[in-house]
Homo-oligomer: A and B are copies of this chain.
């Protein structure tokens, strides 16, 4: 059999193939309304209640670098990225299970720091940490969190419900996480250069990162938009489709459009750029719109809404209408600030296997 590297088909090509392999198992559980292919699986608990369930794995040197990541923040982030998936279904989180593969170099205190971060984040989201598995690892640290949440059939949001004419909205700001990562990697590289050339590297040589706090916070300590989900419930808003922005709007919007069988059109000048990301991009002479659309890890919510519900958003400043859903044939397009239209697919998203 010829060797086929995963990078040849990419993460999403792989997921497609694996989905087909597990398809026969879905017949076993008629209560499972949705398997692979959305932010969460959906399982019917009763006529009035649906359970949603997700899992996210964070691996050392792939998702995080311990040189730039405080352990407590890492624990918190592992919880938040899963809560973000629960939120993307318009659901509220219930409980989490935590699996840790721990390298030999880790002390008890280090693991306790991770757990303290997890516990604090969980309490903030109203979520219980119900169990887990802790094992030795002969290689790097790997943290897997799986999580369940609940919603009702009339509130459930999948990726597949967008219709041409719907408004395309996003919460918060974009690009902050990518900007924060740039700053952290720059500082790390300076430190490594000093150490590699045997120069002293004391605290006095370190950059003052205070002015980058917000961007770094977006990268290391993202918060899931449970506040938005609660607002939806209070305001009687049910998005027609929703996805969380984990890989970047350009990639996640493509998932949403593929699942809905639609196209989309977004306007660069409506994309809510994180202000600090803009400053950092200026400083590094990079293009902030690329960070905002392809940087990933912002964990905001991207959702679609029938036009007639636009007024229900009211004056919430943390929700931006960035474009609208179009017919599939029109593709997924970005109109830039000069009025030029480009295909969003050309921007690309983040793929761990193709890094």
Contacts and interface: CB of A to CB of B under 8 A. Distances in A.
Nearest to A36: B131
Contacts of A99: 55-57, 99, 144, 146
Contacts of A55: 97-99, 131-133, 144, 146
A83 to B, nearest CB: 12
B131 A9 contact: no
A25 B140 contact: no
Contacts of A59: 101, 135-139, 142
A136 B62 contact: yes
Contacts of A140: 137-139
A54 B107 contact: no
Interface of A: 1, 3-6, 8-9, 11, 14-15, 17-18, 21-22, 24-26, 28-29, 31-32, 35-36, 40-41, 43, 45-46, 49, 51, 53-57, 59-63, 94-95, 97-102, 106-109, 111-112, 115-116, 118-119, 122-123, 126-140, 142, 144, 146, 148, 352-353, 355
Given A15-B134, A132-B36, A146-B146, A29 B94 contact: yes
Oligomeric state, in copies: 2
Given A25-B128, A57-B101, A129-B22, A17 B139 contact: no
B97 A135 contact: no
Nearest to A41: B130
Nearest to A94: B29
A129 B35 contact: yes
Nearest to A26: B128
Contact of A4 (B6, B107, B115, B133): B107
Of listed A59, A100, A133, residue having the most chain B CB within 10 A: A133
Contacts of A352: 135-136
A204 B67 CA distance: 50
Nearest to A43: B95
A32 B56 CA distance: 22
B6 A122 contact: no
Nearest to A130: B41
Of listed A25, A102, A109, residue having the most chain B CB within 10 A: A25
